[in-house]
Structure 1
Amino acid sequence: MTVPELTLNDGHGIPQLGFGVFKVDPEQTERIVSDALEVGYRHIDTAAIYGNEEGVGRAIAASGIPRDELFVTTKLYNDDQGTDSAFAAIDTSLTKLGLDHVDLYLIHWPAPARDLYVDSWKALEQIRERGQATSIGVSNFLVPHLKRLLDETDVVPAVNQIELHPYHQQVDVTRFGKDYDIATEAWGPLGQGKYPLLELPKIVEIAGLHGKTPAQVVLRWHLQKGHIVFPKSNSRERIAENFDLFDFELAAEQQAAITTLERAGRVGGDPNEVN
């Protein structure tokens, strides 16, 4: 099964479907990521603050998969924002991952109270120039944060990874991204189980029509929206189910029915308040 690849604004490709390891137990990470790689995932999304980069690295090393067939993302956390500390942070992440570069390095949050995300972005520009990251981007940035980066720095982020699911679609942020060719990655694509998304009648009905699960239908909605998405699970069965998205397509009216579920229902942190 071939996962579609999108082209970022810097010319590099990214698999549209990946595997996330947010809140994956560091002791279980190697096993779980190994399962994902065996299922067929080649895009792994981690972060320094997750505490499981080492497990991701061990799974990659044990897989035998050529490095150029993998896409690995990690993130600069708030405590490490700033020029010198960003350089130290990428060195630490690469050591833990056992890699000489990541495919994508993100500023994890704008952390506006720290007011260091512009300086951090300039550091990421240098990290990219050094070859420690192929592409660079941001995470949880809202339109004002993005506008400031565009005004005060030289490189447009390749990606903005944001909370995005049917209840919280961040239309203003995704529209801004399209205007500036910033790809949108969706974290928490299934709402993190914090509302009964997979029991909603519209979702259940569409799933029944396709002989798919509600989760598969929502993930397919993301893909057809053009989002880059990386569901997570500790279960190999669910990991495989979340990968099985390419033998069906939602009709336009089914896509629209899911889109109408929007209700500004954020389930994660507010980017203006996480510091």
Structure 2
Amino acid sequence: MSETACVINHHTPLGSFLLNQRRTLKRLRLHSKNMQWELDLNDDDEELVWPHVIELELDVAPIHPTFRFHIAHAFPSVQHHCTSEQQRSWMTHPSNLPFILRLESLSGEWSDMEHALEVGACLRRIIISAESVLTDDIGFKAYLPQNLRGLTLTIAAKQYRLLEGLPGAAPRLKYLYIGIHIEWGSPITVLEISQYIIAIVSRFASLQYLSVDFYRVGQLELTAQSDTFAGITAARMCPSLCSVAISRSGKRELCWRRVFDSQDDRGRFVMVSEEDGEDSKRYYDWPWADKS
């Protein structure tokens, strides 16, 4: 362990802080490879329990084998968990099976979703890390539960036709974010991908939010006109859609929202500010979560 490492135990400032906040803490996010977790989490210790934490992300240094990490007992109310390479091994430990079964939302790699589905987790929200590779022979049904409500994933442009299997694997989706990586010089165009996504979106009966982000796109390939065409067309093809966003590398996001008036009972889409678009994203991403 390096001299700059931050140790989390009963005698360190951060460890003491976490222990003192056991009855009030709702979200715990630790992201540093220099953090060393040295709290022994076991089923017999009632002191090391954070009963109200609903979101947990522990991306810290690998936990030493001498320390038990029975996370199901220590964090009995977690609804969302973000896995990390350092802590991935604990997911398969029998003592932590109840933790996985209680999850409603999981962020991690495709393999994490496969394991969660195999053990019986009823995930309603899935976030696939951008670094997780999507293989060409993937069958979405092995990774996505039928009752899934929210999905975030990133794929390479050359794989966009794999999205064909999404409506069948997760027919009840309400929130869908798709990141598309397009390599420089790729023969695949933004328009080609947009038209394909629109066709896929039309097969969802209850999709309410759609966001598509094109990465590494040349300046001339994506214009406000093409964005508007794709956004409005997607909205018309999917009557349940309430909000659409299209962006390039996370910048210059164009957003639309469905509004209703007395003359059009199906509503019409109007362009809104990026701030309003972000509000829509937060609302539809995880609407049943505790926002307090």
Q: Which of the five TM-score ranges fits, normalised by the shorter chain?
A: 0.3 to 0.5
For normalisation by structure 2, the TM-score amounts to: 0.34
TM-score when normalising by structure 1:
0.36
Higher relative contact order (CA 8 A, sep 6+): 1
- Greater strand content: 2
Q: Who wins on radius of gyration, i.e. which is larger?
A: 2
Structure 1 or 2: more helix by fraction: 1
